[in-house]
Structure formats: C-alpha cells, structure tokens
Structure 1
Amino acid sequence: MADILLLPFGSAGDVFPFIWLGRQLTARGHRVRMITACLFEDHARRAGLEFIPLGEQDEFEKMIRDPRIWKSGIGTKVVFEFAAQSVEPYLAAIESCGKADLMLAPMTAFAGRLAREKHGIPLITVHLQPAVFLSVHETPLLHPAMRFFNKLPVWLKKAVLALPNPVDLFALPKVRRICLANGVRPPRSLWREWWDSPDGVLVLFPEWFAPPQPDWPANLLQWTFPLEDLAKEQVLEPELRAFLENGERPVVFTPGSANVQAARFFAVAAEAVRRIGCRAVFVTREPKQVPPDQPASILTVAYAPFSTLLRHAAAFVHHGGVGTMSQGFGAGVPQLIMAMAHDQPDNADRLERLGAGRGLSVRQFTPERVGRELQHLLHDPAIHQAAQACAARLRQAPAPEVLLEWIESRMK
C-alpha cells in the first residue's frame, strides 16, 4: 500500500476529478489524503478520502468573491497571485503528512513541485483542460484575439510565446522567495521549468476533445473526463424530482460553483426563458443571485449532481468550465456557454468545433441572443446528433486499470 497525496487547487470543477482519482486509488488499497480548501472537506470525506484542510475557508471565499476573478486577463492574475500565496500553507500540510510515496497536483499547486525538489517525493502533474498547453501547433483560444494568432506561422508563434508569461509575472517572485527559504533552487520560469513534472503528466480529457500536439510533454498519459460529481452520495432533492417529472424537459442554467457574482447571468436567463416559453432549473450555491418572484416554470436549487439532472434536461447553459462542460457531453445535451475568463473561451471554441453547442461572450449574453440561441439548440437536429455523438464517445471510455498502473509506476 502506498501513501498518496492529492493537491487540487480551485473550484469544484478542479477538485472533483481528484476525488475521482482518490476513489480509484483507494479501491486499489492505497492510502489517499487530499489537501485543499476547507470548502471541499465534506465532499472528500463522503467519497471515502482522508482530508487535510488548507488554511481558513474565508481565504478561498475571498478569492472567489473578488469580482476580478471573472474578467478576461485580470482573472488569471488573481488566480496566480492566490496560488503563490497558497504555497506555504500547502507545503506545511504536505510536510505534516510525513514521507509520502507520490503526489498528484495541478500546475498551480506550486507547493507540490517545491516538495518534490525539497523532499524527493515523486509528482504527477494533472492537467484538466487543454488551455494549459500553449502549443504552437494548436494554441488555445484564451482570448478572442487569439483567433488571429493561430493563423500565424509556427516560427512567429514561438517568438511571441517566448515573451514573459503571466504565471511568471504574477506568481514567480513570491515562489522564488519561498524556495530560497526552504533551501531549494528556485526556477527561472514557473512555466518553462515547473509547469510539467519530470515524473509524469496526466491529462484528464480525451483525444477527441483535444488531440495531442508535437510540443506536449513526452512523459504524458492522456485519459478521458472523470465525470465525478458525487452522484453516488447525493440524490436529487424531492422538490427537484417532482419538478422534472411534471412537465417538459427544462433548460438547466449554472454559472459555476465558484461564481457568486452571477446576478446578471440569472437575470438574462430568466428573461430568455420567459420569451421562448420554456421551463428552467437554475443551479447556484447562492440562490439570492436569482431575481425574486420567479414563476413556477423556474426552479432554483443550491446543488444537484449534473450526471443525474442533465438526463432530464433539454439544453445546458453554463460558464464553460471543463468539468461542467464534460457533464453536458456525458448527458448528450446541446450546450450554450457564456465564456468569461481562464479556459472558458477555449472550451467554448472546442464545443463549437464539435458541433455540440454554441459559445457567447459576456457582452453577447443578452436575453434576445440567449433566447435565439436556445431556440436553435432545442430544434436543430444536427446539434442534437453531435451532442449524442459526444455522449457515445464518453461511454466508450477505457477501464481505469491502465491509468492506475501508470500512476503506480511513477512511484519510487
């Protein structure tokens, strides 16, 4: 039995894939401990994992309540700065566990790489979205202007990508100081030296969503979407079940589990569904974001496992987080994305290329446009066929034994 540490960083879409990994590794007989924000302690423990809280809950809440988090470009700065501030508490939690056999962490959990260099613990970098690969062959669409960038020749892309990277501008100075305080030689660039672990890189999205590129790391295993949403532990609430059973299929709306500034999103959603006369389910951890006095055709819930809920949905409207979008793929429903920041524009672009939905910018997300796009999604047979094709591909996912054996081979 090995001692394995999971170090997810971010919102539910970032944490749930690690819960899925933890389930699989625990079933193999390993001891698995998760270190992340206090907000996810109940989720992890219900899945059978040991849990070590990272800092105080209000620290993570403070980050997600910063309105800049959902601004293109600026949101990246907020995330990287918070990632740098989390290094010391992450490292302290790792060291409190004693000598582990293996760590799995995203690139933003910089303490994982620091612990590797300081203590020699093997590290697997886990990438959840293709937007983290700044390939010159298929550069992710992190901003609408990058559509023009992708038309440039490879040599010119290389020259542009050689310029300073945001992670080095916003996180590297603090990470350098922490490295020196721990007797570790700091990287000259987090992106070029610490982005991918030499011990292994695990990619949790399938090739049909993002095919591998020649400049991806060589020591990489590409898998598929984990589709973890705690459906085993949480069934649909009686009120929601009754709503789904007594009427036509609704459109499901969610701005993401970490989005607590979504009042405009729900105001637009409410007006759009009123205009086209459909039913809707609004999913938000803060129901006060929904306009008051909604008709009986709209039900608001704090949480519902999407793998269960979306089986009853006519369409899915959301922010474009990769975990949320993969649940839409799994259910085979047409999707509409309001892409704000981070990996969301790239995910929306890939959704459109698959023909399974549409992407809008925040400015384009208006009642008129959303109503028009929903009518298109609800009635276009080609989009429904493409969405069903994505679901069929996911049903062909390989058994996890090969993945788990690869993970175990990364240990000393």
Structure 2
Amino acid sequence: MAEILLLPFGSAGDVFPFIWLGRHLMARGHRVTMITACLFEEQARKAGLNFIPLGEKDEFEAMIRDPRIWKLGHGTKVVFEFAAKSVEPYLAAIESCGRVDLMLAPVTAFAARLAHEKHDTPLITVHLQPAVFLSVHETPLLHPAMRLLRRMPVWFKRVLFSLPNPVDLFALPKVRRICQEHGVKPPKSLWREWWDSPDGVLALFPEWFAKPQPDWPANLLQWTFPLEDLATEQALKPELQTFLAPGERPVVFTPGSANVQASRFFAVAAEAVRRIGCRAVFVTREPKQVPPNLPASILTVDYAPFSTLLKHASAFVHHGGIGTMSQGLAAAVPQLIMAMAHDQPDNADRLERLGAGIGLSVRQFTPVRVARELKRLMDEMSFRQSAAKCAAQLAESGDVNRLLRWIEERVNPAQTMS
C-alpha cells in the first residue's frame, strides 16, 4: 500500500478529476489523501478520501469574486498570483503528512514540485486540458489573436515561445524566494523547468479530442475524460425530477461552479429561452444571479450532477470548462459555449472542430445570437450526430487498470504492482 497525495488546485472542474483518481487508487488498496481548498472537504470525504483543508473559505471566495478572473489575460494573472501565494501553505500541508510515496498535481500546485525537489518525492503532473501544452505544432487557442499565430511557421512560434511566459511573470518571483528559503535551487523558468514532472505526465483527455504532438513530453500517458461529478453521492433533487418528468427536454444553462459573476449570462439565457419558447434549467451555486420572477418553464437549482441531468437535456449552454464540456460530450448533447478566459476558448474551438457544438465570445453572447444558435443546435441533425459520435468514443474508454498500473510504476519504477 502506497501513501499517495492528490493536490488539485482550482474549482470543481479541477478537483473532481482528482476525486475520480482517488476512488480508483483506494480501490487498489492505497491510502489516498487530498489537499486542496476547504470548500471541497465534504465532497472529498463523501468519496472516501482523507482530506487536509487548505486555507480559509474566504481566500478561495476572494479569488473567484475578483472581477478579473473571467477576463482574457487578466484571469491568468489572478490564477497564477493566487497559485504562488498558496505555495507555502500547500508545502506545509504536504510535509505534515510524513512519508509520501507519490504525489499527483496540476502545474499550478507549485508546492508539489517544490516538495519533489526538496524531498525527492515522486510526482506525476496531471494535465486536465490540452490548452496547457503550448505546442508549436498545434498551438492552443488561448486568445482570439492566436488564430493568426496558428498559421505562422514553426520556427517563428519557437522564437515567440522563447520569450517570457505569463506564469514566470506572475508567479516566478515568489516561488523563487520560497525555494531559497527551503534550500531548493530555484527554477529559472516555471514553464520550461517545472511545467512537466520528470517522473511522469498524465493527460486526462482522449486523443480524438487532442492528438499528441511531437513537442509534448516523452514520459506522458494520455487517457480520457474522468467524468466525475459526484453522481454516486448526490441524486437529482425531487423538485428537479418533478420538473424533468413532463414536457419537452429543457436547455441546461450553467456558467461554471466557480462563477459568481454570471448575472448577465442568466439574463441573456432567460431572454433567449423566451424568444424560442423552450424550457430551461439554470444551474448556479448563487441563485441570486438569476433574474427574478422567472416563468414556470425555467427552474433554478444550486447543483445537479450533469451525468444524470444531461440525459434529459435538448442542449447544453455553459462557459467551456473542460469538465463541464466533457459531461456534455458523454451525454451526446449539442453544446453552446460562452468562452471567457483560461482554457475555455481552446475547448470551444475543439468542440466546434468536432462538429458537436458552437463557441461564442462574451461579446457575441446576446439574446438574439444565443436564440439563433440554440435553434441550430436543436434543429440541425449534424450537431446531434457529431455529439453522439463523441459519446460513443467516450464509451469505448480503455481498461482503467492500465492507467492505475502506470501510476503505481511511479511509486516504485523498479517493480510494477499488479
């Protein structure tokens, strides 16, 4: 039995895949502890994981309530600054665990790499979305201007990517100082030196969604979407089940679990629904973002597992987070994405290339445009056929034991555990 730490960083879409990993690792007999924002303690413990809360709830809330978090460029700065600020409490929590045989963490959990360097603890970097691979061959769409960059020759992109990266501008100075305090040689660049662990890199998205590129890490295992949404622990609420039972399939709208600045999103959604005369379900952790006095054809809920809810949906409208989008693909539901920042524009672009949905910018997300695109998604058979093809591919996922054996090899490379 190995002592394994899971160190997710971010919102539910960032944490739930690690809960999925934790469930499977525990089933193999390992002791698994999760360290992340205290907001996720209940979900982690319900799944059977040991849990160490990180920081105060107010700290995470302050980050997601920062108006810059959902703006192109600005959101990246907020996330990396918060990630750098979290290094010391993360490291203290890691070291409080005593002997650790393996850590799994995203690139933003810089303390994991610091612990790897300081204590020689094996580390697997977990990438949840292809946008983190800044490839010169298939360049992710992190900003609309990068459509032009994609057409540039490889040599030009290599030169451009050699320039200072945002992660180094926003997080490196603080991380370097903390490294020095702990007697660890600081990296000259987080992106070039700490982005991918030398012990192993795990990409949790399928090859048909993002094909491996020549400049991706050689020590990488690419798997598929985890599709964890805690459906095992939480059924649909009775009022939602009652709403879904009769009538036509509703359109499901969500701006993301961490989005507490979505009043405009729901105002546009309500008007678009009125224009096309369909039913809708609004999912938001803060119902006060929803317009008052909505008709009976619209129901608002604070949470619903999408793997269950989307079986009843005619279309799915959301922010483009990778976890949310993968649930839509698994449910074979056509999707409309309002991409704001981070990996969302790239996810929307990949969805469009698959033919399973449509991506809009924040500016394009208006009642007229949303109503028009929803009608297309519901009326044009090609979208549903493409979504069904994606769902079929997801259903053909490989034997998860192969993934778990690969992870276990990082615990003890000299011996593969059965």
TM class, shorter-length = over 0.9
* SS state at 1:218 partner: coil
Structure 1 gaps, min length 5 = none
Say if 2:227 is the partner of 1:232.
no
- 8 Å contact from structure 1 (residues 39, 57) kept in 2: yes
SS at match of 2:68: helix
Deviation, structure 1 residue 247: 1.3
1:318 paired residue number? 318
Q: Identity across aligned pairs (percent)? A: 80
| Secondary structure, aligned partner of 1:410 | helix
Partner of 2:293: 293
Q: Tell me the equivalent position of 1:46.
A: 46
Contact 1:19 1:228 in 2 (8 A): yes
Counterpart Cα distance in 1 of 2:55 and 2:295: 41
Quote the offset at 1:291 in angstroms: 0.2
Q: Matched residue of 2:199: which SS?
A: coil
Per the TM alignment, residue 399 of structure 1 is displaced from its structure 2 partner at its CA by: 1.7
Q: Flag structure 2 segments of 5+ consecutive residues without an equivalent.
A: 413-418
Tell me the amino acid that sits aligned with residue 144 of structure 2.
P
In the other structure, the counterpart of 1:190 is 190
After superposition, where does 1:326-405 map in structure 2 within 5 Å?
A: 326-405=326-405
SS at match of 1:281: strand
Q: CA deviation at 1:411?
A: 1.1
Q: In structure 2, the residue corresponding to 1:368 is in which secondary structure?
A: helix
Per the alignment, residue 307 of structure 1 pairs with: 307
Q: Kindly report which structure 2 residues correspond to 1:75-114, keeping only aligned pairs within 5 A, or say none.
A: 75-114=75-114
Q: Which amino acid aligns with 1:24?
A: H
For residues 90 and 212 of structure 1, the distance between their equivalents in structure 2, rounded to whole angstroms, comes to 31
Partner residue, 2:129: 129
Alignment of 1:27-38 (within 5 A): 27-38=27-38
Give, in angstroms, the shift of residue 375 of structure 1: 0.2
| 1:155-166 alignment runs, 5 A limit | 155-166=155-166
TM-score normalised by L of structure 1: 1.00
- Please say if residues 315 and 377 of structure 1, whose CA atoms lie closer than 8 Å, have aligned partners that are also in contact: yes
What is the 5 A alignment of 1:168-207? 168-207=168-207
Which residue is 2:20 aligned to?
20
C-alpha distance in structure 2 between counterparts of 1:244 and 1:179, whole Å: 53
Matching residue of 1:57: 57
Q: Which secondary structure state, in structure 1, belongs to the residue aligned with residue 411 of structure 2?
A: coil
1:90-110 Cα deviation digits (max 9, x unpaired): 000000000100000000000
Q: CA deviation at 1:55?
A: 0.9
SS at match of 1:247: coil
The residue aligned with 2:415 is none
User: C-alpha distance in 2, partners of 1:2/1:174?
Assistant: 32
Contact 1:256/1:318 (<8 A) preserved: yes
Q: Is the 8 A contact 1:131 1:343 kept in 2?
A: yes
Alignment partner of 1:4: what SS? Answer: strand
Q: Equivalents in 2 of 1:341, 1:303: separation in Å?
A: 23
- The 1-side partners of 2:248 and 2:353 are apart by 29
Query: For 1:96-146, what per-residue CA distance to the aligned partner results, in whole angstroms no more than 9, with x for missing partners?
Result: 000100000000000000000001100000000000000000000000110
Q: Which runs of 4+ in 1 moved over 3 A?
A: none
CA-to-partner distance for each residue in 1:185-241, whole Å, 9 max, x for gaps?
Answer: 000000000000000000000000000000000000000000000000000000000
Q: Deviations over 1:284-321 (max 9, x none)?
A: 00000000000000000000000000000000000000
Cα distance in 1, alignment partners of residues 309 and 89 from structure 2: 36
Alpha-carbon deviations, 1:29-58, whole Å to 9, x = none?
000000000000000000010000001111
8 Å CA contact 1:99, 1:121 repeated in 2: no
How far apart are residue 367 of structure 1 and its match? 0.1
8 Å CA contact retained: 1:4, 1:32: yes
Shift of 1:246: 1.4
**Structure 2 CA distance for aligned equivalents of residues 283 and 55 of structure 1:** 27
Output the amino acid matched with 2:172.
L
Structure-2 separation of matches of 1:55 and 1:73: 26
The AA in structure 1 aligned to 2:356 is A
Q: Residue type of the partner of 1:69?
A: I
Residue 246 of structure 1 aligns with which residue?
246
Query: SS of the counterpart of 1:406?
Result: helix
CA distance in 1, matches of 2:162, 2:39: 37
RMSD of aligned residue pairs (Cα, Å): 0.4
Residue equivalent to 2:259: 259
Alpha-carbon displacement from aligned partner over 1:145-168 (angstroms, at most 9, x marks no partner):
100000000000101111100000
Secondary structure class of the residue paired with 1:51: strand
SS of corresponding position for 2:69: helix
Counterpart CA distance in 2 for 1:389 and 1:219 is 30
- Partner AA of 1:72 in structure 2: L
Q: In the alignment, is residue 219 of structure 1 matched against residue 219 of structure 2?
A: yes
Amino acid at match of 1:213: Q
Once residues 9 and 107 of structure 2 are traced to their aligned partners in structure 1, the CA distance between those partners, rounded to angstroms, is: 9
* Alpha-carbon distance between aligned partners in 2 of 1:45 and 1:248, rounded to the nearest angstrom: 37
